[in-house]
Chain A
């Protein structure tokens, strides 16, 4: 489970990314984190795998306050968490297979274990026959599926996805989301930051909406925006950003 208690994050340049955020996500949940750019979605995700530390408040992941971890305790935390990004973050000089195997290699898994688990992960994302391809020989959707395979190959209980469909067309995006749903069905908690409205609306999952670093809405079977009022104020805000 994940719990945020009165979390505030202020960056050194003075930008307030999150303000007094309280949040609870149970094991096995599928959660969308939505909001316009700069609302704090990415920062929220980064707090969970301790890329960032909160300025104030506590971030509990599986019962431990990750803000107070010693440097040596960070690797064990990350081995329980899979992360997927908008830009895939694959190594260009490694094949799909090697990219997935890399995640196991660097945590000291045995060769036998690597040979067993990498094909399983590639199977799950439907890329077994593309195992020998390099990232530049794969489509965007395929690359993201390799990244997903890498994220889950270590059997994490928590999968974080930061705008995983941001670089993909709608059809491909749906493929990725279906996979995330499948991973969730197998028991992994999934937290996905996104602004893919049609996906959020269709999935009918829990939605946590952020705006200017605050949680403005948290509901099950939620939508990307609740009603026309929220939509119009959102549009107004976006217009103000575009033409001040």
Chain B
């Protein structure tokens, strides 16, 4: 077993050296393929991050009945704050609400002077939930509490947002699947060439009674090395390239919630780990696939 492994490693390295130009070509192709894959993963990760950031901003606005006393108001705020999944509750009086509106109007704030005397706004609570998917059930519960006139959380907007993020995730998954197939094909093609170049050798090995696994090892390792080298190139590229890209993007669009800093490093690290494992796995699979035909003697 150990002898077979040693033999396989030796043969695989020798083969890579013998066909160095071809190996280089396939390492590059694998690297390009995996780079596209990595970009997809990184974009998907950022979209996910962006979606999460937007989702986190979704708030529930609870309008309080106009006949409610300040005591009921306080009691309501306390009750809401005690609900499961509620992160924070802020009381916004009708005066404060008008003030905010004024700020949003900016230079045309005098338009609001007309309503100063008879403020049409209501007291409200601003409720933030810990997790985006809790918005709907929490709003449901709040609407049944005493003193609540109306609950608003931008239903249509939230539903749309969730379907968009789901869509983005599926697209990413689809791309990953496609590129996986492409990588297997590329590696199996490269290894097929070396298998073809050595078909005589394989024939003799079979003739003198080598087992299929003994014959397979060198090719499997060769594919594995090719895949890992390609993935390594990609990993280096993303490690260096991603922070730079984020920097460029932030210069152009300053407030985009991109993954950056330590979180980004962690994310790239995890992506790269996936890439290297995937590269090695695909290389091994690719070479085994291309060898099957030659072993059937």
The main secondary structure of chain A at its interface with chain B is helix
Q: Is the CB of A107 within 8 A of B212?
A: no
Q: Which B191-228 residues sit within 8 Å CB-CB of chain A? A: 200-201, 203-212, 214-215
Q: How far is the CB of B232 from chain A (nearest CB, A)?
A: 30
| Contact code string A2-38 (vs B, CB < 8 Å = 1, else 0) | 0000000000000000000000000000000000000
Q: Is the CB of A78 within 8 A of B207?
A: yes
Q: How far is the CB of A56 from chain B (nearest CB, A)?
A: 21
Known: A108-B4, A108-B214. A89 touches B209 (CB 8 A): no
Q: Is the CB of B209 within 8 A of A107?
A: yes
Chain B contact residue count (CB 8 A cutoff): 18
Residues of A close to B167: CB separation below 8 A: none
Q: Is the CB of B3 within 8 A of A106?
A: no
List 28 A–B pairs whose Cβ atoms lie within 8 Å, in order of A's numbering.
A49-B207, A51-B297, A71-B212, A72-B211, A75-B210, A75-B211, A75-B212, A76-B209, A77-B209, A78-B207, A79-B208, A79-B209, A89-B200, A89-B207, A91-B200, A102-B204, A102-B205, A105-B7, A106-B210, A106-B214, A106-B215, A107-B209, A107-B214, A108-B4, A108-B214, A110-B3, A150-B208, A154-B208
Q: Is the CB of B209 within 8 A of A75?
A: yes
Q: Is the CB of A106 within 8 A of B205?
A: yes
Q: Is the CB of A106 within 8 A of B212?
A: no
**Would you call A45 an interface residue if the criterion is a C-beta within 8 Å of the partner chain's C-beta atoms?**
no
The residue on A at minimum CB distance from B201 is A91
The main secondary structure of chain B at its interface with chain A is helix
Find the residue from B200, B209, B210, B214 having the highest chain A CB count within 10 A: B209
**A-binding residues in B (CB < 8 A):** 3-4, 7, 200-201, 203-212, 214-215, 297
Known: A89-B203, A91-B201. A107 touches B4 (CB 8 A): no
By size class, the interface of chain A is: 20 to 34
The residue on B at minimum CB distance from A90 is B204
Residues of A close to B204: CB separation below 8 A: 89, 91, 102-103
Residues of A close to B201: CB separation below 8 A: 91
**Would you call A190 an interface residue if the criterion is a C-beta within 8 Å of the partner chain's C-beta atoms?**
no
Q: How far is the CB of A165 from chain B (nearest CB, A)?
A: 20
Known: A108-B4, A110-B3. A103 touches B200 (CB 8 A): no
Find the residue from B205, B207, B297 having the highest chain A CB count within 10 A: B207
Q: How far is the CB of A61 from chain B (nearest CB, A)?
A: 13
